[in-house]
Amino acid sequence: MTRKLAAGNWKMNGTRAALSELQTLADAHPAPSVDILICPPATLILRAADLLAGTSLRIGAQDCHADASGAHTGDISAPMLADAGATAVILGHSERREDHGETSEMVRAKARAAHAAGLTAIICVGESLAEREARNTLDIIGGQLAASIPDGCTAANTVIAYEPIWAIGTGKVPTTAQIDEVHDFIRARMIRRFGQTEGGAIPLLYGGSVKAGNAAEIFATDNVDGALVGGASLTAADFSPIIAALEGSA
Ligand code: PEP
């Protein structure tokens, strides 16, 4: 059975004062039936992982370098993230693809590094509005999957997040039919590449303007195993009902 995951991406938000939100969230979900992961900015990973040791919450990162160490000023490697207490890393988020010119080939190299360091790679794919309107969504997603995902992915070390770029932080959400079409497509590609046992169980997240008010409907969609949540993961008050909706989605 595919495990379910509620993942929060804090992006470039949060200082030490925000750690109290994590404690509140952990207190509200002492024994959740789904996995809960928060990816704060890198400056908070060590403190957050220490704070949450022994709780149900796990801590992840938002990016890593493809190399394990070396002359890469300002970058952080996957082994460093694991050493700080991260268990997962988001890779290929559209904001990194746009802001930092990350290509799918770079994302694949980072995913290999994440796996080698024992981290779960949460690999993001998604189309722009222009690509959707040109009816190219599945071609774009198929190309991103083929180029961004390394060999050797398993249900334990990989998560795929479908994040239509036009839905991120905009309040616009695809219809459940649109989500269903893309998630079924991703599931078929994962099974074709990694086989039924692993490809059939790699968790598939939807991301893009998920809120308490739309979470249950999204989680009822076939092949949606959870969500990658930006804005609504910043406070326990906003994220907790999304976790509860996922727990209720059996
Ligand atoms: C994201 O950045 O991964 C995201 C889904 O953001 P939001 O939930 O704010 O749309």
Query: What is the tens place of the pLDDT at every residue in 18-70?
Result: 999 999 999 999 999 999 999 999 999 999 999 999 999 999 999 999 999 99
Across the range 88-111, mean pLDDT stands at 98
**Rounded-to-integer distance, Cα 197 and Cα 194, Å:** 8
- Please count the structural domains in the chain: 1
Ligand 1 neighbour 169 (Cβ under 6 A): yes
Could you tell me if the CB of 210 is within 6 A of ligand 1? yes
Domain boundaries, position 228: 5-249
Tell me, using a 6 A CB cutoff, whether residue 48 lines ligand 1: no
Mean pLDDT taken over the chain: 97
Residue 250 has pLDDT above 80, yes or no: no
CA dihedral 86, 109, 156, 182 (to 10 degrees): 110
Q: Which residue has the tokens 């394990």?
A: 68
pLDDT at 126: 98
Residue nearest to atom 7 of ligand 1 (CA): 230
Q: What is the pLDDT of residue 99?
A: 96
CA 182 to chain centroid, in Å, comes to 16
To which residue do tokens 């609504």 refer?
232
Half-sphere exposure of 128 (CA within 13 A, CB side): 6
Active site residue 217: no
pLDDT band at 170 (very low <50, low <70, confident <90, very high): very high
> What's the average model confidence in pLDDT over 91-104?
97
The domain that contains 158 carries what CATH number? 3.20.20.70
Ligand 1: centre distance to CA 11 (Å): 9
Per residue in 203-226, pLDDT (tens digit) is 999 999 999 999 999 999 999 999
Pocket test for ligand 1, best of 124, 163, 166 (most atoms within 8 A of CB): 163
Outline where the chain has alpha helix (H).
19-28, 42-52, 78-84, 94-99, 104-116, 129-133, 137-148, 176-199, 212-219, 236-247
At residue 2 the predicted structure's pLDDT band, cuts being 50, 70 and 90, is confident
Q: Is the pTM of this model over 0.85?
A: yes
What pLDDT shows up at residue 138? 98
CB of 168 closer than 6 angstroms to any ligand 1 atom: yes
Give the max Cα distance, the chain: 48
Q: What is the pLDDT of residue 205?
A: 98
Residue 210 CA to ligand 1 center (angstroms) comes to 7
> Is pLDDT at 1 greater than 90 in this prediction?
no
Q: What is the mean pLDDT of residues 166-176?
A: 95
Average pLDDT over residues 96-125: 98
